[in-house]
Structure 1
Amino acid sequence: MNPDEGLVALSGWGRTAHRKAVVRRPSSDNDLVGLVQATSRLTVRGAGKSYGDAALPEHGTVLDMTAHNRILSFDQGKGILVVEAGATLNAVLAQTLPLGWVLPVLPGTAHITVGGAIASDVHGKNHPGAGSFGQHVLWMSLLRSDGSIHRLSAGQDSDGFWGTIGGMGLTGVILQAAIQLQQVDTGWASRRRRRTGSLKETLGVLRELAAEQELDPELHVVAWLDAHQAGRGVVDECRPARYRDLPRAVPPFPEQRGGSVRRSIRSLPGPGVMVRPAIAAASSARWKLSPAKERQLLPLTTALCPLDRAGSWPAAFGRAGLVQYQFAVPVEASDVLGQVLRLLVERRTTPALTTVKNLGYGTAGPLSFPIPGWTMAVDLPARRLGDGTMLRSVGDLVAGAGGRVYLAKDVVTDPALIPAMYPRLETWRRTQRRLDPDGRLTSALAQRLELLS
């Protein structure tokens, strides 16, 4: 008998972590409750867009939530959406944006599920003013491992609510959520672009914009860096466009394109195209071909979710896949950004893509990622990282500066660093044990980082 019979091959979006597992996709609430009660070890999975092993099992069954994807109600007057956890952000936007409402926080892709956005407490490019996704959740219903369903909010079991926001799917199965949307005049964004000549100049621009962002939740800012050239970069600032900003012939809401995720493309053979000379040439070309512009009109989702134009991005990194290492450090630790880039370049692991954003104050979630300061994300060819020792040294540097890694993307962090990076870890563990006393909920990430011990 084939030991893999009945198993499904799964991976993270970066294609570095792989598992085979039994996957269940119940379509009804009764089947879902029955499965949770009957399963001893369960890993909750949404759209599978976490880069690493956050939605992969170490042992046990995978619960695929994508069949629970209905929009249950939408109050167009108040902008309050009630939606099932398996619906993607893209599907939500397809329904609400033509009505003048948008999710107030959007990460780099809209192809993640609502449940995944809550469990990872995703952030966007407007974090200093808008906060992270969880700050706009009014309430959620949580299926606990004993089969009971509880409504959680900031005023009703606040520990359970904030433990689930950013809790990486380890407190229970999110069934539904009510989310406060943001009203917009149009479905367009107005983008201003600047070029900078060094990392110092880039960070100076970001500092100036951070002060504006704190007062304006509609201001989205991100910087792309050329790691080969001392951190010179391109800084984009976007705002939802007002109706008066549109040329006369432009409709207020652009035509919605198909909401389905593009079919995954097979990884290119060997190292793919992400080799050092190609990365250097592409980085230089991108900088030269990104001239400063005072105003450019783009569809709002195109401006805020750039990853959705590059669905096959991991395939370019070859069979070993892509590691996106994202970390945050306090405002006063900006020198760590330059130290990390120099370390990677010196060890011939130049990032294929490097971005920096401003972060504001985080949520009350003990495992929520954002802290006031900076966040840098670097896309690295996994084949260059060997046993991960180099990135563990980056982790030491980040932790020593009072920073942390983003759990939703991690694949290499030393578990010994997690308590320092997340000082409220034990508070979260107490809440997690209360909500899942039998220890049924787990994941490869939770086991590797010893989150549940």
Structure 2
Amino acid sequence: MTAESPGTQSLSGWGRTFRRTARVRRPELEGGLVDVVLSEPKITVRGAGKSYGDAALPGVGAGDGIVLDLTGLDRISVFDEGNGIVVVEAGLVLKDLIDQTLPLGWKLPVVPGTERVTIGGALAGDVHGKNHPGAGSFGQHVLWIDVLLSDGSTIRLSAGQDADAFWATVGGMGLTGVILRTAIQLQRVDTGWMIRNRLRTHSLDETVEVMHAAAGRQELDPDRHVIAWLDANARGNRAGRGIVDEYYDASTLDLPGVVAPFPETRVTSSREHRSLPGPGVVSAATIATASAARWHLSRSANSRLVARRTALCPLDRADAWPAAFGRRGVVQYQLAVPLDEVGVLHEVLAFFSTHGLTPALVTLKNFGFGTAGPLTFPMPGWTLAVDLPARWLHDAGALHPIDKLVAGAGGRVYLAKDAVTDAELIPVMYPRLPDWQRTRSRLDPAGVWTSGLAERLKLLS
């Protein structure tokens, strides 16, 4: 397949809940990319395809449009080792950047749960890590981005140069133009290790109390990462019990003499696992057994040494996770609510329990300050993420009661992972959507950029 001769492929998101057949072009030179953009009426931009839903898939009404695969534009253009500024093409995956920079003592300030997203995808989703209260989201560490517009021209954007367009693109889900390259400010790090403190909790209220205390430490230390796993199968007073892991950077003084400052680069498989037939192996019984075992077998403990990449990117140890849910895949529903809306967390967990929808995975993280991005997901407060077998959601509105709870509390859902949200509530969840739409129309007056997500949630209208 070449840029001039597109191939037809069957594509899906990471969760495998959507699958579309599309013409795909994968240019490897910027000149070829411009030719493609000028020749197609509708384009969906795609990186590594790691968004859960349909953010990197064409809509059902895409017609003659194409999918533009950017993974061929994957070079590191400049790396200034003196000040930690790196200029990279948008198709580079985080793993390859980390492979090159971490052994030299530089780290990305923000890393999501996987290293396998592209730089462009990380920007388009304005991804966050487990250290958001102190470090913010990915876009806040970007110095500038070059964006290819639908008329074939390229503009350079930054927070100080056309800030509206910059923040419409950061978090804009690939709907303002093609991110070509970006300059990122890395941060110094002494080792590739972290120290983990673990605390087991016995109820949601206790979990929240522990997380709230940790958020105060995170605000003072941008390198402190915190996440809680919740036992979604627990009931009654035990509901929301969990395991809170808090990580911070290890110095060379923290390492035993036999441990090298930087672990060897991990070799990981990039092959896609086939979905297991039928319903897969994830069921109410396996979830209950695994959840109880995880909670009972975990113990509170401090000062365990963990490789940085293992601590921050647990999804990269779970390649087969979507495949385990069977042919219909997995839905991740991730919400954010303000700090004083803990009651919503209780109600959401109760909803799943009373409807027989015990999640296979539930995590809770702290969010700190927001950003100027009108479609950026993080907001001060809490973010709860749940993984559900898609086969359990028998109709498109199965989770709409939760949508209403979240929107009514002043919260929102994460667009980069969405597959089920009520489109009518998106303007409530994202009140600055009209501002984003006006900026997007200025950047793309011809309406070239589109996606299944944009169509389903009516983001462009």
SS at match of 1:389: coil
Query: How big is each residue's C-alpha offset from its partner over 1:132-170, in whole Å with a ceiling of 9 and x where there is no partner?
Result: 000000000000000000000011111110100000000
Q: Percent identity?
A: 63
Offset of 1:261 from its aligned partner?
A: 4.5
Q: Using the TM superposition, give the Cα deviation of residue 291 of structure 1 relative to its aligned residue in structure 2, in angstroms.
A: 1.1
**Partners of 1:290 and 1:103 in 2: CA distance:** 30
1:402 is aligned to 410
Q: Does 1:92 align with 2:97?
A: yes
Distance 2:442 2:269 in 1: 37
2:414 and 2:43 map into 1 onto residues whose CA distance is 22
Which position in structure 1 is the counterpart of 2:68? Answer: 63
TM-score by structure 1 length?
A: 0.98
**1:415 CA drift (Å):** 1.0
Which AA in structure 2 matches 1:239? Y
Corresponding residue for residue 368 of structure 2: 360
The match for 2:193 is 188
Residue of structure 2 in register with 1:159 after alignment:
164
Matched, 1:303 2:311: yes
Distance in 1 (CA, whole Å) between partners of 2:249 and 2:24 is 40
User: Matched residues in 2 for 1:270 and 1:349: separation?
Assistant: 18
Indicate the larger mover: 305-314 or 285-294. 285-294
> What SS does structure 1 have at the residue aligned with 2:27?
coil
Kindly provide the amino acid, as one letter, of the partner of residue 177 in structure 1. T
- In structure 2, distance between residues paired with 1:290 and 1:100: 32
CA shift, 1:262, in A, is 2.6
Q: Which moved more, 1:126-135 or 1:288-297?
A: 288-297
The reply on whether 1:375 has 2:386 as its aligned counterpart is: no
Determine which of 266, 286, 297 is the counterpart of 1:257.
266
Equivalent in the alignment of 1:441 = 449
The alpha-carbon deviation at position 77 of structure 1 amounts to 1.2
Say what the alpha-carbon RMSD is for the aligned residues. Answer: 0.9
Residue 240 of structure 1: aligned partner: 249
CA distance in 2, matches of 1:46, 1:27: 13
In the superposition, the TM-score normalised over structure 2's length comes to 0.96
Query: What is the CA distance between 1:295 and its match in structure 2?
Result: 1.1
Q: Which residue of 1 aligns with 2:240?
A: 231
Q: Where does structure 2 lack aligned partners over 5 or more consecutive residues? A: 1-5
Conservation of the 8 A alpha-carbon contact between 2:231 and 2:241? yes
CA contact (8 A) 1:111 1:261 kept: no
Alignment of 1:40-439 (within 5 A): 40-58=41-59, 59=62, 60-229=65-234, 230-258=239-267, 261-439=269-447
Which residue identity lines up with residue 277 of structure 2 in the other structure? P
Inter-partner Cα distance in structure 2 for 1:211 and 1:254: 30
Structure 1 CA distance for aligned equivalents of residues 208 and 118 of structure 2: 32
Partner letter of residue 147 of structure 1?
G
CA distance in 2, matches of 1:186, 1:443: 40
1:156-213 Cα shifts (integer Å, max 9, x gaps): 1111101000000000000000001111000011111110011110000001011111
Q: Secondary structure at the match of 2:165?
A: helix
Distance 2:22 2:270 in 1: 24
The answer on whether the counterparts of 2:87 and 2:182 sit within 8 Å (CA) in structure 1 is: yes
Shift of 1:50: 0.2
CA distance in 2 between partners of 1:67 and 1:247 (Å): 41
Q: Is this contact kept in 1: 2:397–2:422, CA < 8 A?
A: no
Q: Tell me, what secondary structure is at the counterpart of 1:328?
A: strand
Count of paired positions: 448
